[in-house]
Chain A
């Protein structure tokens, strides 16, 4: 079987019960991560989740030590996840406390918590390495995630927890949307902004904890950051932002897990992150709303429009045109022949441009049309801004002026 066949099998959930469960779990994880991350992103606290995720390491290690000392295997996943949740919560509270109660800013608090907790975790990991009991092998997989050799019970834990997290995002979407969109208004409607903020980060924490096994603690933050940032390119509405981010997260998780199960030696976490990044890149470039290509295209069209208008005015006034872009714009529009002489269409368009210019000048002089005139950018056709009656009126005023002079 080729790698491609295996990939198709994995993508269609035909590659065995275990990897199907992992793929579904990763998809649910991505769904919850994208959804929760959207709120974190809107509150501009994307990197707080980085502190949370690094703060899980001492918890994992402590839980392992406790379980091993108590005589267990030390690798029981729910126990490890509970431990990681505790230290992650402590880390989160310390970030909040430092940013509120000391003069240090939030980014310093984030950096301090993530490096110190991670350092402590590494110290504890080296303690574990010297322990003889508890089957310590494989604990390092929490750093970068690993689905190879995952127990079916572990896959269940992740799939169920992922579903619960996705459900929580759905349940809490209303207050969180309010706070993310307009915290002052949320306060007036009786929503506790601080509590909701903490709820958002607790959701991020839940996603982090259940993502430890699949994506690993260094990269899990990507599932909370990249999908919402990518989704932001496609929409200006909060509700659709959350849906798109959740969708992108789910796709990243699912496809990433499938690729990782189809090819030996391809680690799950990094692949999921890179798939998410590809989605981000496509959004950055191709989104019609805020994408780079669309923006470049708009800019290019705008330049053409400006050059065309200036060119037509120059034609109408019989001025020579030297600018190359202006010349090529006029030729392309069929307003000018290759030898630089205006075509019939060019002459009539030029006359129209000059007339419109006079109309605009009159409209602004009269100030009769107030705010509409204030919107004048020199490029929108006058017919799109003013009514036929207003234009006719302008023309009458212009005619009177001409008679008067």
Chain B
């Protein structure tokens, strides 16, 4: 299992899964604490119309037009949600529901109406991604890691995802104080000169970037699950924000590795010949981690609720 075949078939998908999971879990921590957890959900739905429009405009399914289209759609969605919330004085959950279902419906309709038979673009792909297909053809074994020629053949998603993950880590590090204070006490943050609205907007943009990049590699299920499940489980482990972020990174990593292994090799243990969806399994594992945290984690209760019987 750990030989040349592993390097060729499983190493890169697993790394991409880990990077995507971490990239989503990082901003997810702050979204969770700000009760904006579902923004990630909304954004990953509207990615579909974005990539469809990008395809219709450029006629290709190369990465950059797709990512720009998806990012544009995410921004349009956030603006629309805000506009509907203000214009109609509608509660934000409902406004979000209106916007993301409509944009997703428009995306599906556009997709069905346009000729995409020549390219690989469909709704299922948008949802599940195709993690298993991101294999490293040129690898012959662990030694390929030091072989420049083989390294050049790495799937481009790996480098992109790595850049985005590092970028998000830097975002969280650099804006740590601003993010933390404006998340916990917006009024205080404002009073010491933090531009809370700008910080909030930057967080949404970071979320969109993580969603779009991860979506390109692994599909939107993982994106939604990773925005929420690892940070939520981490929140139940500790009261310290820094420790919560570390826990969430750990949970995201474990979900990605365990999910990928279970999807790829798990069915074999039961004598089944085929693997199952890695994206779905990673989301499932993150859910199992969260379930365990809900039942047993040290900080699972609200303060003051601990004495109550559960």
Contacts and interface: CB of A to CB of B under 8 A. Distances in A.
Nearest to B229: A112
B290 to A, nearest CB: 6
Interface string B123-137: 110011000000000
Contact of A116 (B109, B112, B229, B272): B229
Interface in A195-240: 218-219, 221-222, 225-226, 228-229, 232-233
Interface in A295-352: 295
Contacts of A269: 105, 108
Contact of B112 (A115, A266, A290): A266
Given A116-B225, A143-B123, A225 B94 contact: yes
Given A125-B277, A266-B109, A284-B87, A218 B104 contact: yes
A192 B33 CA distance: 31
Contacts of B36: 107
Interface stretch (A42-50, A370-378, A396-404): A42-50
Interface residues of A, number: 59
Contact of A112 (B97, B287, B302): B287
Given A107-B35, A111-B40, A143 B93 contact: no
Nearest to A280: B98
B53 interface: no
B132 to A, nearest CB: 10
A192 B36 CA distance: 30
A365 interface: no
B221 A267 contact: no
Interface in A119-134: 119-123, 125-127, 129-130
Nearest to B227: A111
B16 interface: no
Nearest to B290: A112
A226 B303 CA distance: 37
Contact of B98 (A101, A116, A225): A225
A110 B272 CA distance: 33
Interface stretch (B66-74, B153-161, B197-205, B278-286): B278-286
Given A116-B286, A122-B280, A226-B101, A271 B228 contact: no
A67 interface: no
Interface in A98-114: 98, 101-105, 107-108, 110-112, 114
A273 B265 CA distance: 40
Contacts of A233: 88
A292 interface: yes
Interface string B59-102: 00000000000000000000000001001111101111110011
B97 A111 contact: no
B26 interface: no
Nearest to A113: B287
A44 B228 contact: no
Interface string B219-250: 00110110111001001100000000000000
B88 A116 contact: no
A277 interface: yes
Contacts of A277: 98, 102, 105
Contacts of A130: 272-274
Interface of chain B, helix or strand or loop or mixed? helix
Interface in B247-267: 263, 267
Contacts of A69: none
A108 B272 contact: no
A130 B36 CA distance: 38
B37 A221 contact: no
Contact of B105 (A114, A219, A229): A219
B247 to A, nearest CB: 14
A126 B299 CA distance: 36
A253 interface: no
Contact of B283 (A118, A125, A273, A274): A118
A280 B123 CA distance: 25
Given A143-B127, A225-B101, A274-B105, A267 B90 contact: no
B84 A284 contact: yes
A122 B279 contact: yes
A65 B301 CA distance: 38
A75 to B, nearest CB: 19
B37 A108 contact: yes
A104 B236 contact: yes
B225 A47 contact: no
A277 B37 CA distance: 24
A84 B170 CA distance: 42
A225 B279 CA distance: 28
Given A102-B300, A122-B127, A115 B274 contact: no
A222 B283 contact: no
A149 interface: no
A42 B123 CA distance: 32
A222 B97 contact: yes
A277 B100 CA distance: 11
A120 B94 contact: no
Contacts of A71: none
Nearest to A267: B112
A108 B228 contact: yes
Interface of A: 41, 44-47, 50, 98, 101-105, 107-108, 110-112, 114-123, 125-127, 129-130, 140, 143-144, 218-219, 221-222, 225-226, 228-229, 232-233, 265-267, 269-271, 273-274, 277, 280, 284, 290, 292, 295
Q: Which 4 residue pairs are nearest across A and B when measured between Cβ atoms?
A: A119-B283, A116-B287, A122-B280, A222-B101
25 contacts: A47-B38, A47-B96, A50-B97, A103-B301, A103-B302, A105-B37, A111-B37, A111-B227, A116-B225, A119-B280, A119-B282, A120-B284, A123-B263, A130-B274, A219-B101, A219-B105, A229-B88, A233-B88, A265-B113, A266-B112, A270-B104, A270-B112, A273-B105, A284-B88, A290-B89
Interface of B: 32, 35-38, 40-41, 45, 84, 87-91, 93-98, 101-102, 104-106, 108-109, 112-113, 123-124, 127-128, 221-222, 224-225, 227-229, 232, 235-236, 263, 267, 272-277, 279-284, 286-287, 290, 294, 299-303, 305, 310
Given A50-B97, A111-B224, A118-B224, 17 more contacts: A41-B91, A44-B91, A46-B91, A101-B310, A102-B302, A104-B236, A108-B35, A115-B283, A116-B229, A119-B283, A123-B263, A140-B124, A226-B101, A229-B95, A232-B88, A265-B112, A280-B98
